[in-house]
Structure 1
């Protein structure tokens, strides 16, 4: 699957509702197949684009505490 170039201006970015207004947050935007992640302090960048399935697996591992630092 080819990684798309997502236009940050055309995406709907969101951050956690528990985040503060200090600007030190991670924001995410998604479409059907891809998730873009960016730093809220640098909104002019496209962000990191990953497959939606990989992002879902990351979130599940983070929630369950099964993240590993080995490749």
Structure 2
């Protein structure tokens, strides 16, 4: 699946006072895709769902 086919949404963990300054997320069964909303055509981070879960657990502390 290309990144153009993904359904991107603003992360609920992204709370910026600037509406165009956030982290966007797109999920598939095997990969979590992350990108900067200001520069969506630049590098993106791709991680496994288990790594994303571990990160969220750590970040919520």
TM-score, normalised via structure 2 length = 0.78
TM-score, normalised via structure 1 length = 0.68
Unaligned runs of 5+ in 2: none
Contact 1:30/1:36 (<8 A) preserved: yes
Unaligned runs of 5+ in 1: 1-5, 66-71
Segments of 4+ in structure 1 off by > 2 A?
A: 16-22
Q: Between Structure 1 and Structure 2, whose CA radius of gyration is higher?
A: 1
Equivalent position to 1:7, from 2, 5, 29: 2
Cα deviation, 1:14-52, whole Å, max 9, x if unaligned, reads 104655563110001010111010000111235110111
Secondary structure at the aligned position of 2:51 is classed as helix
Corresponding pairs, count: 59
Residue 53 of structure 1: aligned partner: 50
| Root-mean-square deviation over aligned CA pairs | 2.0
Residues 10 and 41 (structure 1 numbering): CA distance in 2 closer, same or farther, change over 3 Å? same
